[in-house]
Amino acid sequence: MSESGWNSKVTRRGFLRSQAALAAAATPMSALAAHTTTPAAVDYYDKLGVQTFLNAAGTYTDLTSACMPAPVQAAVALAAKRWVHLKELQEKAGAYIANRLQCEGCCISAGAASAITLGAAACIQAANNCRPMDIPRLIGSPQYPKNEVIVQVPNGYDEGIFMCGAKTVVVNSLDEYKATFNANTVMTRVENAAERVIIGQEDWLAVAHDHGVPCFLDAAADMPPIENLWKYTQMGWDLVCFSGGKDIRGPQGAGLLLGKKKYTDLAQANNNPNEGVGRGMKVGKEQIVGMVAAVDWILSQTDEGMEKESRKRLALIADMVKDIPSVKTSVIVPATANHFPQLVIEFDPGVIGASPLELKARLATATPAVEINPHTGSTRASQGVPPEPNALVVVALLLFPGQDAIVGRQIRKVLKNPKSMGAYDPSAAPRRG
């Protein structure tokens, strides 16, 4: 039966024809296989006129983070060709990941930010003994008064907590932290890579657990090392989130909420397709399978192997620019988030004839376009990277084989003759990652 046949009127002749077609059709097994052939893909970036570039910046959401490795892409493409029961897939994929990452439970979310919402909903539900549909409507009411989340350093991802009807209370010392727990405390939240650490993780966990309050750790970008995927849950964090699309290299719209099964199960109860705060954060079968395949992929890698490959690529790029007047290169490795080698190409803007931000803008608008790290030309430290006011910062981890040489060639060209490539508008605000 042709696909358009579904919409056309069923005539007797058409019916007989389709019966004959069915009779002549292949066996059920090959009918399944028929859907696994892949036609040549239309390049929709090209068709839409969307600019593509080589990502020598890192896993920035705005730059669409990582590209999935080939085995992950293949698993996603195959998963897209069959139907499954969503809840069965969620349950089995979650159990599989929990087993591989050595924790009790896992809920696959629509990114780390969505894991914060689902984790908060789980803790609110546990504390108030309410239903998912009561979040956020009745949270903070006399019926369900428990609505306080203690945080160490507030950040924009706290929106995920506010969405659940809870509020945050910021603490600035261990004494203040201890004094803040009360009958309405439902959860605590720490950003693992926060610049400012006032209360250490062990103290933080011990105090909260003395009060029977679960602790959430946001470790979204904090892998490698690979062992972080189980280190924090094993330290006693009740819930830990990772972004799926960052260095785990899963789909950009996926994330992991790992931890105690009691809470990951409640998170799942608030997740799509259930009617809860996660209903609008749908994770499709393609993202779920992609996340599982990405976990398998990252566990097939080693930290040493990934670091060696990164350093090899960065050395190749450094070699291509080091003879340029005033250029000095070095490699840094941030301590927590984005813990992989980054190349710092320092230079004298007076000698080169352009600022780091101008070079960054020109690289991003050249052909082929290259996006380099947003710490380029930075005047402030961020995420463990010191200020780099006179340097380009380059990340090679995400590139596909052979792209390091292209990045090196473009950087050499822009350093040798800035005005020869791309465009630069000095009045435009520098682009953030």
Ligand X SMILES: *Cc1c(COP(=O)(O)O)cnc(C)c1O
Site residues, ligand X (CB under 6 A): 61, 111-113, 157, 191, 218, 220-221, 243, 245, 255
CB of 61 or CB of 382, closer to ligand X: 61
Shortest Å, Cβ 335 to ligand X? 14
Residue with tokens 């990340």: 395
Q: Which is nearer to ligand X, 130 or 283 (CB)?
A: 283
Q: Is 236 left (phi over 0), alpha (psi -120 to 50) or beta?
A: left
CB of 218: closest distance to ligand X in angstroms? Answer: 5
Q: How far is the CB of 363 from ligand X (least distance, A)?
A: 23
Smallest gap from Cβ 127 to ligand X, in A, equals 23
CB closer to ligand X out of 171 and 193:
193
CB of 115 to ligand X, least distance (A): 7
DSSP code string of 63-104 = GT-PPPPHHHHHHHHHHTTS---HHHHHHHHHHHHHHHTTSS
Q: Cα separation of 154 and 30, whole Å?
A: 55
Q: Which is nearer to ligand X, 239 or 317 (CB)?
A: 239
CA distance 234 to 163: 28
Q: 3-state SS string over 141-188?
A: CCCECCCEEEECCCCHHHHHHHCCCCEEEECCCHHHHHHHCCCCEEEE
Burial category of 433 from C-beta neighbours within 10 Å (exposed 0-12, middle 13-18, buried 19 and up):
middle
Q: Which is nearer to ligand X, 118 or 220 (CB)?
A: 220
Question: Residue 160: which of 87, 262, 241, 101 has the closest Cα?
Answer: 241
Classify strands 148-151 and 167-170 as parallel, antiparallel or unpaired.
Answer: parallel
Residue closer to ligand X (CB basis): 18 or 336: 336
Min separation Cβ 106 and ligand X, Å: 15
Output the CA–CA distances (angstroms, integers) from residue 346 to 197, 330, 343, 377, in the order listed.
30, 8, 9, 10
Identify which of residues 171 and 221 has a Cβ nearer to ligand X in the complex.
221
How far, CA to CA in Å, does 114 sit from each of 107, 244, 281?
Answer: 11, 11, 7
DSSP 261-280: HHHHHHHHHTBTTSSSTBTT
Residue nearest to ligand X (CB): 111
Q: How far is the CB of 397 from ligand X (least distance, A)?
A: 16
Comparing CB distances to ligand X, the nearer of 66 and 186 is 66
Give 255 or 418: the residue with its C-beta nearer to ligand X. Answer: 255
Q: How far is the CB of 402 from ligand X (least distance, A)?
A: 28
In three-state form (DSSP H/G/I as H, E/B as E, the rest C), the secondary structure along 357-400 is: HHHHHHHHHCCCCEEECCCCCCCCCECCECCCCCEEEEECCCCC
What is the smallest separation between the CB atom of 345 and ligand X, expressed in angstroms?
Answer: 25
Task: Judge contact between 339 and 319, C-beta under 8 A.
Answer: no
